[in-house]
Amino acid sequence: MNNPDWLTIDAGGLPRYVPRRFEDSQLVNCGFSTRTGGVSKPPYHSLNLSLAVGDDRDDVLANRRLFASGLGVDAAAIVVPDQIHSNRVAIVTQSDAGSGAIDHCDAVPATDALITNTVGLPLALHFADCVGILFLDPVNSAIGAAHAGWRGTAANIVQVVIDAMKCEFGTYTANLLAAICPAIEGNCYEVGDDVAYHFEEMFSGDKSVLGRCENTKWRVDLKMANCVLLRRAGVREMNVALSRQCTSCRDDEFFSYRRDGVTGRMGGWISLKRM
């Protein structure tokens, strides 16, 4: 699928997707991994980057070193949140380096988004269908990363991240770049009435976000929902890089919890470059 807002970079057999505007800025090392190029064994094969899904710890740490090397960041310095489907944002600094890098018990507790202006500090979130959103303030040299499942989306984690970046770093929304990573598409994401209710309330019948399919099941497009929330927050449409790749459809390229149940996680990692 053509993704004009995203580049594919292959570093030593480890392909990753990178938002074009982020790469052009020359301010960050960042990327969204695929499932290929690692050492994990089934059902986590092969580049599982999460320590929280039951995979062999040594394999995950080896995978993290591989991915970090391709990105040009230090695997031992990554900051990992314990993602719980909330809208909680943590501001992290050099004192947080390595949180969750070696043992998930040390991850930033009960958090689904991280922001920082610390150079060289990699934010590392992990996904298998939920939406990953990367943020870059190129004027104030600040970054963020968020995990948005349906609960985080319904709790408008996008707005919470942007408000935190405004408060902490002086971010002006019109300058903000955002990237919506590969995630499950609406055609593959069926939900019940309870979930659909939240999206009816938030999006007022926007059919790009919520609709019914032929079997009358509700379907939600979380990527489009977060695009709408970014626009409502004041982010310019031209500054949003939207990936249209579906993690559920591409079993050769991505992990998918909806498709497989027990499975690995891709990484959405971002770090400010040392200049």
Among 215, 218, 220, residue whose Cα is nearest residue 192: 218
Over 90: is that where the pLDDT of 237 sits?
A: yes
CB proximity list for 240: less than 8 A, separation 6 or greater: 5, 177, 178, 179, 180, 227, 230, 231
Position 13 confidence tier, pLDDT thresholds 50, 70, 90: confident
pLDDT at site 215 = 67
CB proximity list for 134: less than 8 A, separation 6 or greater: 19, 22, 30, 143, 144, 145, 178, 179, 181, 268, 270
Give the residue-averaged pLDDT of 134-153: 98
Q: What is the pLDDT of residues 102-124, one digit of tens each?
A: 999 999 999 999 999 999 999 99
Q: What is the SS3 assignment for 209-238? A: CEEECCCCCEEECHHHHHHHHHHHHCCCHH
CB proximity list for 77: less than 8 A, separation 6 or greater: 97, 98, 101, 120, 121, 122
Q: What is the pLDDT of residues 149-172, one digit of tens each?
A: 999 999 999 999 999 999 999 999
Q: What is the pLDDT of residues 171-208, one digit of tens each?
A: 999 999 999 999 999 999 999 999 999 999 899 878 89
% residues pLDDT > 70 (the chain): 99
Among 132, 150, 110, residue whose Cα is nearest residue 269: 132
Give the residue-averaged pLDDT of 236-245: 96
Give the residue-averaged pLDDT of 139-151: 98
- Whether pTM > 0.85 for this model: the answer is yes
Question: Kind and range of the H or E element at 61?
Answer: helix 57-71
pLDDT at site 214 = 67
Over 60: is that where the pLDDT of 1 sits?
A: no
Position 2 confidence tier, pLDDT thresholds 50, 70, 90: low
* Distance (Å, whole) CA 183 – CA 137: 23
* Distance (Å, whole) CA 178 – CA 172: 13
Position 133 confidence tier, pLDDT thresholds 50, 70, 90: very high
Give the residue-averaged pLDDT of 8-28: 94
Average pLDDT of the chain?
Answer: 95
Domains located in the chain, CATH noted:
6-272 (3.60.140.10)
pLDDT at site 207 = 86
Q: H-type helices in 72-215, by residue range? A: 150-154, 157-169, 193-203
Residue length of the chain: 275
Over 70: is that where the pLDDT of 100 sits?
A: yes
CB proximity list for 230: less than 8 A, separation 6 or greater: 133, 158, 178, 240
45 C-beta neighbours (distance < 10 Å), count: 17
Site of tokens 């059902």: 43
Among 142, 180, 22, 263, residue whose Cα is nearest residue 9: 22
